[in-house]
Structure 1
Amino acid sequence: MRVAVITASLSLCISVLAQQVYQAQPTDDVWYYDQAFNPGFTAILRVWGNGQYAVDPTGARPALNFSYALAKWRLDGIPAGRQYQVLSAQITVVQTQPPGYTREEGEQFPLEARPLSSTNFTETRWNFNDPNNPEVGSEIFGTSRMTNYRTDAPFAIPIPLERELFESYFNAAINQNNGELGIGFVSRLDPGGQGGTRFYRFYSRNDAGGRGPVLQIVYRVAGDVNGDGCTNDTDLLLVLFNFGTNNAQADLNGDGVVNDADLLQVLFNFGNSC
């Protein structure tokens, strides 16, 4: 009985130590539209497409039928020179009241989170015509959920990010881009469907109520089971000790069982951050 209690306590301790959480609002966000007013300091970001496309297929900058929102985060406190495993990631934005679209339209034409070609922009120096502005990528990290939809008050729109797709982008931001991570918000939602009002309007980081986009990432050093910041013999032994069980922390790939795949992840990352 005592051994079981000690083992359970050890597993809980390992779980708490291994996982880290980053949560913050952007350092910069802008409304990317050629007729935007006060695009770098607006309290509300606006996003729409033309019904068929979310990103203007004719060029890097959005034409009249398209409007994007760009945001970037400083991943402060996450050391470079390591490879990380993303356990979960989500962006949450807050839609203003009232929404210009129905729940069904929001589900059919979701808000999309995509990568940016660079983080070479700031609110203070924003210029729509700058040829060095970031381009929104084709990969979709995540799409919005209308679980909180309402018409009588602002509501949170969660955008869960696909863990495996986002992980390499997250690592590149830390190790190759000075800790800056950029996201482009786009949608196929066509404003013409509701007399020009059917588009996403959500608060920017400049909202006085603090309702700007929030990025939350749960992560750990890749292969680091015990959370000491180094993938080494201890992690290898923990996987072997729990081999064949459903121990959540040793189950590095989250498939429900500790097996060869988890062992390979430790071996592949052996020496990471040591």
Structure 2
Amino acid sequence: MKRTTLTLIAVNLIALSAAQDCLPVFMPTDQLPPCAESPISEYLAQQHQMYGPDIIMRNPAHHGFNNCMPPPPDGGQQTHQFGSKVNFEISLDRGNTWMAMEAEADCLVMVRHRETIPGTRVFDTEMLQLNIQGGTLPPNVMVRESPTLPSAGVTRISSVAGGFRIDSFFDVFTELSLDGGLTWMPANTPGHVCLQYDTQALMSGCGNGDGSATVLTDMFGSAAGSFADGFGGDEFDPRGAFVRDAPTFSVGTFFFAPTIARELFTSNIEWPDALGFNPDVSVSLTRVERGQVTDRDNDGQNDYLETEFDMTAPFSMNVKVIQEMVCCPEPTWMVTYVMTNTGLGPADFSMHRVWDIDQYWSGSFTNEEVGVAGNGDPLGPVVFQREFGAAFAATTMGLSSSPSADFYYGGKQAHIPTGGGPAFGFGTDVLTWNNYGMPLTWRNYVAFLGYNIDGASGAANGDGHIALEHMVSLAPGETKQLTYYHVYGGLRPTRVTGDVNCDGCVDDTDLAIVLSLFGTNMRAGDVNLDGIVDDTDLAIVLANFGLGC
């Protein structure tokens, strides 16, 4: 996917297109603010704010809105009171250390209609009151909207097919109290907050030197920046291969219920819009529980994120998304979908995982190889992409899964499989996927190579990308789990074979680690990465005992 710039953004930060303009988001209703059940909407700020000489606040995220209301009619004005939550980080020592906070927030907002232009209503807004306290804030710490300075903003609502596009911002002047409200310190600058989709960052535990990776992801397990302005994607520092922080790009999971529904699970509206993907409005995501990136295994890296949402159409399903970065030995981003059919009838669908990788080691993303390895392997095939002519082990990026995929492909732009069209498209092929999934002629095929043959395409020209597809069938009440492994600088994660300590040999040390952590959720002993160290992990180690030694 061509782009000219790449900017890595930190947890809960969104790049703004202009000083006061925000990228629009899609919402099924025009209620303000977007209700808590509207997926992944929140107001995010970009800059730090100082309170006095030592206290800094950063990364505020305002979300979980309730008591949503339609906007006033043309010429009208209304005040609107609602509850919400605020997450932010605060430093009391000029940024040397940081504490993550979450608190309840009571809000009062004025909304006044300014004008209506073709297809778009424009509203002037002002935050009249914002009181933040409780939650994980220390005793007597409070934040409020300034009682003397106006916190003004603008909201624009445009009608589009299936819903509304909303772009909205506030410039919020805040004050901080450390003594329960007796005295207040004003911020040095207003917080410019934009209504955006929730995006979070995962960082690997591979250290800060060669072999580290950073993935900018969202609560659905998709990593994609704005295709319009070029930011986003991942950053990878491979071992002795090419320039530091070489980027990969869009990663996501498409959900297809044949002839019924299609949906890209992503927080970024720019992805489907810019590439022309046409999701069905019949897919309805309702309850959403947003998670926070945490350091679950206490290794000093924020590398774990767990979120959950419900679908009510085309059938009822609960989906838990678990993401983690591990190192065994190369950086591996794991995305697990735990899917439960909560309806009364069967649920039959496919999950299509794509990775559109753009590397620049040799100066062009169009000569990268796509390939497949492991046909006939008990672990299933792994598709990969790498720089042609480069140090293969370092530039290879592999995509595998557990259970193994039903189908895979490695595509190159404009190449037509030997079984017939359609040709592989540009980038992530969303136009072709409008046909509800992977075309039959693409299944288990690699461009310029063929069907079910291990190997790589060579440096044939064309934008490349790789994908896996799983066919899923759930009876009422049934649960299935699907994990995707994105390996940076390798083909597949070592840990799935029972090598717990990642030394290349499954031996007594691995067995001892699992036994010592039995019954816990410590990642060091969780061989199959399902969140608990149990008999299954022990069995995997025993079944592979001696492998690699």
Same fold (TM over 0.5): no
* TM-score of the superposed pair, with normalisation by structure 2: 0.18
**Structure of greater relative contact order (alpha carbons < 8 Å, 6+ residues apart):** 1
* TM-score of the superposed pair, with normalisation by structure 1: 0.32
Which structure has more helix as a fraction of its residues? 1
